[in-house]
Amino acid sequence: MLCSFTMVMGTVSAQNAVRVEPAKHIFGWYRQRSVAPINLTNSTRLQSLIRGGNLYLSAQDVIALTLENNLDIEIQRYTPILTKEVTRRTQGGGGIRSVGVGVAAGPTSVSLTGVSVNASGGSASTGGVSSGGGIVTQLGPVIPSLDPQLSLVTQFGHSTTPQSDTFVTGTTSLITDYRFYQGQYSQYNDFGTYFQFTITDSHYKYNSPYFAIDPFSQGDADFQITQNLLNGFGRPVLGRNIRVSKNNEKVSDLQFKQQVITTVSAVLNLYWDLVSFNADLKARNDELATAKALFEDNQKQVKIGTLAPIEVTRAEAQVYSSEQDLLISQTNLLQQETVLKNALSRNGVASPELAEVHVVPLDTIQVPPQDDIKPIDQLVQDALSKRIEIAQDKINIDSNQINLKAIRNGLKPTLQLFAELTNNGLAGGPNYLAPGTAAPPYLVGGTGTVFEQILRRNYPNYSAGVSLNIPLRNRAAQSDYVTSALEERQAELSLQKAVNQVRVDVQNALIGLRQARVRYDSAVKARILQQQTLDADRKKYTLGASTVFQVVQDQQTLASAQSTEEQSLANYSHARIAFDQALGTTLEVNHISIDEALSGRVQRPSDLPTTLPPSAQEQKQ
């Protein structure tokens, strides 16, 4: 076996991960963050499996290519990143956005005649984070912005004001020059507390002789705090969106996992159907070869007079009928190859490397002598612990309960405790317009003197109070609470419904698996018996004891029996895949790492038979 280690390393280096660049410095807080462009380049694994115009695939290669190149999985890779960005938004006080897309059902085979595919669970969540995934609710007390705010104000001015009374200002026209500076820091926290700290520095100059100091500086440091005591109090209320968004992150991870399970199961169904179509094509070729041989033999016998001419017509009609069956089988196979190649490529069958190649499956469907099945009760318990929709429903119920507590808080009146502390300062120089006026010595100085007075708290102001706001009747809040409580009851019932459905899914999947085995065993016996019948009638025909019509009919029946056997094999593979889905063990059974699926980089190499021709990469080397 040939292990392509270099191919795997090429896959790692070529694959571009879905990523968003973080802000690296303070200026990055105010710039758009870089989002990597989409990647439409297939992994090098795909090219390495093409040999001599054929794409050789094992079941494990199909899984690896699906994880690396399938677009349904690639689209779903964005959902966990999107929900993390929503969490970042809620940490700043923003609401929960509806993001993500639903789980795609995956590709289906061209024809599933005789094949019954069991669903992976009637209650399986196929919605995005906004519909069946996470919770998006904006009810309850308003959540303020939790990001701190810094405000800087600078103002310069000049004014000339005519005076009607010179007794106050000592001039008929009061001229004022001023400069104003203010810095303010404010922040809400998720406990319901608002802080605000403000520093102000002002500089004034007047043309009045009546000011003891002129020009002068005036400043203050002001600290305010407001605390909600009822409505809007506490982290369970104002931090609810953060907690719910983190729950939605868990849901998005589960949703990605569900997409991997759904897509891998669908593509494996495509692969095993392709195996079945190849076997059916071989049976139809054998049918046509037998029909042609009988037609030629009948022509010879008619020439020598040992057979009626009508038998040649019958044999020729059978040749045309067999050619039609062969054509249908060939077109089904080609269409199935197209569907499978599209599922394994980022740019579909438009890829030059896939446009003309034929898919050659290396594996065959294997039916074990017997299915090792646990007791039904144990199967159900295992499924309940592993099925994704059960975990999603439980997380969503927890999110509903988080929101319900906050909505209940909205029933309370608004009670706020507030306090303010201000320290003032004033300093300047002697008024040059009043030389005989002496300035108070404790006010003589500049900006430094102002801030010294503020720090010494020479001129403090205090205030505190309580504000109570009581809504009368409060109908909106009451309605929101009851509505949300009823929705929670619905969610609890939906969880029970999902639990019940899991039991049904497991039992149906088990029945389907047993049914598929019985059908396969019956199909094998029917094919063996029909082969024996054909062999016996051929011997009779050579001895003249049977007719060509009977031999042709036997060959048709054998071809149908072989087709039925292949369909039963495909039916068993589908039933087995559906059984794994019902139990929630698809990833374990197929040895799939969710980390590899999330990164789109599968480390395990491909094992190809050494008898295959070299790949294009190996030819270049």
pLDDT higher than threshold 60 for residue 16: no
d(CA 169, CA 100): 69
Q: Give residue-wise pLDDT tens across range 423-451.
A: 999 999 888 787 767 778 888 888 899 99
Q: Any alpha helices (H) in 305-387, and if so which ranges?
A: 310-343, 376-386
Closest CA to 189 of 102, 93, 259: 93
Instruction: At 498, list the tokens.
Output: 């999902």
Structural domain boundaries of the chain?
1-146+241-402+475-621, 149-188+193-231+414-469
Q: Which residues pair with 57 in a beta bridge?
A: 361
What band does 270 get if pLDDT is binned at 50, 70 and 90?
Answer: very high
Q: Which residues pair with 223 in a beta bridge?
A: 197, 421
Q: Give residue-wise pLDDT tens across range 509-535.
A: 999 999 999 998 999 999 899 989 988
23-38: average pLDDT:
78
Closest CA to 584 of 268, 261, 133, 269: 261
CB-count burial class (<10 Å; 0-12, 13-18, 19+) for 156: exposed
d(CA 495, CA 501): 10
d(CA 594, CA 600): 10
CA dihedral (58, 64, 68, 72) in degrees, to 10, reads: 80
Q: Give residue-wise pLDDT tens across range 560-594.
A: 888 888 888 888 999 999 999 999 999 999 999 99
d(CA 565, CA 544): 31
Q: Give residue-wise pLDDT tens across range 206-245.
A: 998 888 888 999 999 999 999 999 999 999 999 999 999 9
Is residue 387 a contact partner of residue 236, using CB atoms and an 8 Å limit?
no
Q: Are strands 54-57 and 358-361 parallel, antiparallel or unpaired?
A: parallel
Second-level CATH architecture of 1-146+241-402+475-621 = Up-down Bundle (1.20)
Residues 6+ apart with CB under 8 A from 411: 474, 477, 478, 481
What does 124-172 look like in DSSP terms, one character per residue?
---S-TTTTSS-----SSPPPP-S-EEEEEEEEEEEEEE-S-HHHHSSS
More confident residue, 612 or 539: 539
Lowest mean pLDDT: which of 27-31, 121-125, 178-182?
121-125
- The answer to whether the bond into 609 is cis (omega within 30° of 0) is no
